[in-house]
Amino acid sequence: MVKVLIIDDHPLFRLALRQALGTIDCINELIEANNFTTAFNILTQTNNVSLVVLDLLLPDTKGYEALITLRRQCASLPIVIISSSEDPSVIQRCIAYGALGYLPKNLSLPEISQAVIAVLNGDIWVPPEIQDRFRKLESDEESLIQRITSLTPTQLRVFMAIADGFLNKQIAYEFNISETTVKTHVSQILRKLNVNTRTQAVLLAQKLKIELPNIN
């Protein structure tokens, strides 16, 4: 039997997902989280979650951060993204970062069920009409994806904080760690990203930003 974790900050949409997923016979338990911190704690405390349905943008993460962190922490856990964006480049990056499905929020409940069933059966599911508009990822973009996904969850958080202009002292305060530890993380981040300065790292981080419609 299948246990599904729904991560979405919109109560009404979590309800819609429960209705859609509740029609799938093999799913016997649905649990919810309204932010990434709660979801991450759930996943670290239990090992029997079979599938995650993840809102692309959550109040406590930025860009692809939640997806990358989950994929790094739970390598074998299937993840389905749900979002209001139908931008082919966003969808393609989600798949490149390890999602096995991408569900636009305008799908009907039966369509959501069918898509999740496909993922549970081992397929990768994106809307067919959008998949036809995928472009081939450039080699430098593929390389960047590999470098970013090599960051540990903590390094990724520090990376995103650097992108927001935080100084080491601010990062240390925010994450309750020492400045020495922050400096170590920054050095490792720069090495893994193959850049020499924080400014270069910030420029790379811009590629993690996602422009979504206001309805998300």
In sequence order, the 6+-apart residues with CB closer than 8 A to the CB of 92 are 134, 135, 137
What's residue 211's pLDDT? Answer: 55
Q: Which of 160, 154, 153, 76 has the alpha carbon at shortest distance from 122? A: 76
Q: pLDDT tens, 74-114? A: 888 999 999 988 888 889 899 999 999 999 989 999 999 99
What's residue 43's pLDDT? Answer: 92
Contact by Cβ (8 Å): 193, 155: no
Mean pLDDT confidence for 41-59: 91
The phi and psi torsions of 189 (rounded to 5 degrees) equal -65, -50
In this predicted structure, the answer to whether residue 214 has a pLDDT above a threshold of 50 is no
Mean pLDDT confidence for 30-53: 93
Q: Residue 131: which pLDDT band, with cuts at 50, 70 and 90? A: confident
In this predicted structure, the answer to whether residue 3 has a pLDDT above a threshold of 90 is yes
In this predicted structure, the answer to whether residue 190 has a pLDDT above a threshold of 80 is yes
In this predicted structure, the answer to whether residue 116 has a pLDDT above a threshold of 50 is yes
Separation in Å, CA 85 to CA 13, 19, 103? 15, 22, 9
What's residue 210's pLDDT? Answer: 65
The phi and psi torsions of 215 (rounded to 5 degrees) equal -80, -10
2-11, 12-21, 117-126, 198-207: range with lowest mean pLDDT: 198-207
What's residue 213's pLDDT? Answer: 46
In this predicted structure, the answer to whether residue 215 has a pLDDT above a threshold of 60 is no
N-term to C-term CA, the chain: 31
Question: Cα–chain-centroid distance for residue 184?
Answer: 25
What's residue 83's pLDDT? Answer: 92
What's residue 145's pLDDT? Answer: 87
